[in-house]
Chains A and B, each alone.
Chain A
């Protein structure tokens, strides 16, 4: 879009409604009256003005307005493209401001954009169970799960026929509160959320570690009374969402590093629990993911119906109050999104399939020894570990087939 000359002078009559580009739109003086006529622009021939088309701000469009291009490079531009409806370059009045301050403004724009989008999402009554991305080209923000209305409806019908409607209602309730929490989080951005969001968007990397450790804990949640326990802890976990730093009781950075070195196998604290991703019941687990998880549990036949495969499995097993839904919370979805994070170049979280597959597979894993209590959600006290498990934790690497199901003891974490 061409840059609005009037806006640059601070006297655009159309304000928000203007069809031209308003760089650094927010807070700039300018009247906000509706345009009396749409004159002087190239949109003649509009029949109904009740709707307005807005162009997608594509990165390549920045090349058009070279006067503003100055110190900018395409990457930066594309970064905040579409962050808010009017942000072009995230410029302030001074086009030649140093890149660093502009970058801050970009970030600010992005965050503002996210906040605004969240507000709109909440107030508009639009479909809740959808993924979201602040910038059109970027991967999805974690914490939101994609459920189509048909999938939800199918679940309803399935539960109806099995006379288990209450479980469905509960899980939907859970999903809704999950979503509400996440929205509130994103609306009221505090420091850590901001940091996580920004790093996420910039690098396309999702720093949420809970992509790991599905295997163990998930096994714990399905079909065992340990599940409600997990739920309660997952409430805490929810708050963690992006706040990887604050999320883990002890040595957050430490745990991150632990994860770094030991991808996924049972070495996880709370993240595992919340990510008892029945969300990953979506779609059939792929056999290929067996490679990831050494448990080699039998194919998750417990996943009866498609879509919410997690639901019937766990809910049929025992009528938990808050059912599997916590998995849809920030972490679990984060897990799904984590993969795109780690593959910042690709658009689709392909590896997440593996995660999904792995998770669902391990659901049928018999959890006889998963005694997870609320107190020890993050770490197992040393005395609760068996010899073999202790050995595993102490060794440099996990041995396939011997990976402990419980989280490591606090003492063994190297921070």
Chain B
């Protein structure tokens, strides 16, 4: 098992290395900091599935690496392993049995990382950076779905042969689905998958038997799509999705609602000057949306450096955090909803001028069991 080469070890994770200033606002919520966080912006976070005992967190970063930590119940985080790509890692996901991690990178490949052997092999090749990767487990097949800026969705058969010299040219995708535009974000909860593309494209796929396009939806948002997350109904079936844009707005959209006009709605978030309508607001992009696996409430993280919890059924906000000094680039719940992880690192929302390679990137863990309880409707 390789340890993280570029950091100074486990112990320094808790405190800032540069001698913290008194006004240091990197952790205003006083959440647990993950030790040995990546050296460059974190692009994606993912917790292990319930099949794995304990909690393991995977984070992909713009430093071309993917890191794995074990998160213990005490809150202590232990770095476990790391893998490298040749380009920034944009998305990560777990297989359903928790033995493999799939990573998607700007180097146009997707890799499968076997945690037991700590080997990673390439499983997919695209013509452009791979932006999303998801594991699909269906009764009659299982595959990895990759979405890329080359405007295709590929699903690759699994398991690919292991311990073999992997000739990437011979790995044929099970299916290649064309997209109208570059894939920006996607989410999968069997049997539904949603892909949001550039130019405000939105496609829903149904995954039974084999992935096929189910419906193309007119975007309920006016600006660029940034993130999407599927939510489930009371019977634990995926029934709709939340779509976030760069304009500080999230749309809740049901696939087959009884009353679309009433059921679908959008709400503004991640804006400054909430109620003051006279002064121009600052509007921030919604970088990530995650639904609590148990309560069905959702969390959004934005470029303003805040995270918020919402109850979409009661249409209320549950909580907004204090403002961190960096944007929050990604977020994730663990499988039972007790831990909320969010990554504080620069998301390029203000261009290169505000990029400071020296700035430390953090991943914070927060106890999410209580704060995300839905609001009871009166």
B247 lies within 8 A of A130 (CB):
yes
B115 at the interface (CB under 8 A from A): no
When distances are taken between beta carbons in the complex, the residues of chain A under 8 Å from B208 are none
Stretch of A3-11, A117-125, A252-260 lying at the B interface: A117-125
- What bracket does the count of chain B residues touching chain A fall in? 35 or more
Question: Which B residues, 293 to 349, have Cβ-Cβ distances below 8 Å to chain A?
Answer: 314-318, 320, 347-349
Tell me which residues across on chain A come within 8 A of B197, comparing CB atoms: 348
Asked if A131 and B128 make an inter-chain contact with CB atoms under 8 angstroms apart, the answer reads: no
* Interfacial chain B residues near A136, Cβ < 8 Å: 218-222
Given A127-B224, A336-B199: A55 and B265 within 8 A (CB)?
A: yes
Q: Is the CB of A45 within 8 A of B266?
A: no
Within 8 A of B (CB), among A34-51: 34, 43-51
Question: Which chain A residue lies CB-closest to B219?
Answer: A136
Q: With an 8 A cutoff between CB atoms, is A58 at the interface?
A: yes
**In the complex, A120→B53 CA distance in Å?**
48
How far, in Å, is B323 (CB) from chain A's closest CB? 14
Say whether, besides A53-B315, A137-B218, A149 and B348 are in contact (CB < 8 Å). yes
Is B248's CB within 8 Å of the partner chain A? Answer: yes
- Is A284 an interface position by the 8 A CB rule? yes
**Nearest chain-A residue to B268 (Cβ)?**
A51
* B201 in contact with A348 (CB, 8 Å): yes
Give every chain B residue within 8 A of A169 (Cβ-Cβ). Answer: 352
Contact of B149 among A52, A123, A307 (CB under 8 A): A307
Q: Does B184 contact A (CB under 8 A)?
A: yes
How many residue pairs link A and B with beta carbons under 8 A? The number is: 205
Comparing A151-159, A180-188, A267-275, A384-392, the segment that makes contact with chain B is A151-159
Whether B43 pairs with A150 at a CB distance below 8 angstroms is yes
Distance, CA A353 to CA B350, complexed state (A): 29
Contacting pair B281 A124 (CB below 8 A): yes
The distance in angstroms between the C-alpha atoms of A154 and B202, with both chains bound, is: 24
Question: Which of A34, A58, A146, A340 is the one whose CB lies under 8 Å from B198?
Answer: A146
- A192 beta carbon closer than 8 Å to chain B: no
Residues of A with C-beta under 8 A to B283? 120, 124-126
A45 to B316, Cβ gap below 8 A? yes
* B182–A47 touching, CB < 8 Å: no
Within 8 A of A (CB), among B139-157: 149-151
Q: Tell me which of B10-18, B95-103, B272-280 binds A.
A: B272-280
Name 4 extra pairs, CB < 8 A, besides A127-B224, A136-B222: A150-B90, A282-B182, A283-B181, A348-B201
B binding-site residues for A, Cβ under 8 Å: 43, 62, 87-88, 90, 106, 108, 127-129, 131, 149-151, 180-182, 184, 197-202, 216-224, 226, 245-248, 251, 260-262, 264-269, 271, 274-275, 277, 280-285, 314-318, 320, 347-352, 355, 375-378
Q: Which 3 A-B pairs have the closest CB atoms?
A: A306-B128, A348-B180, A130-B224
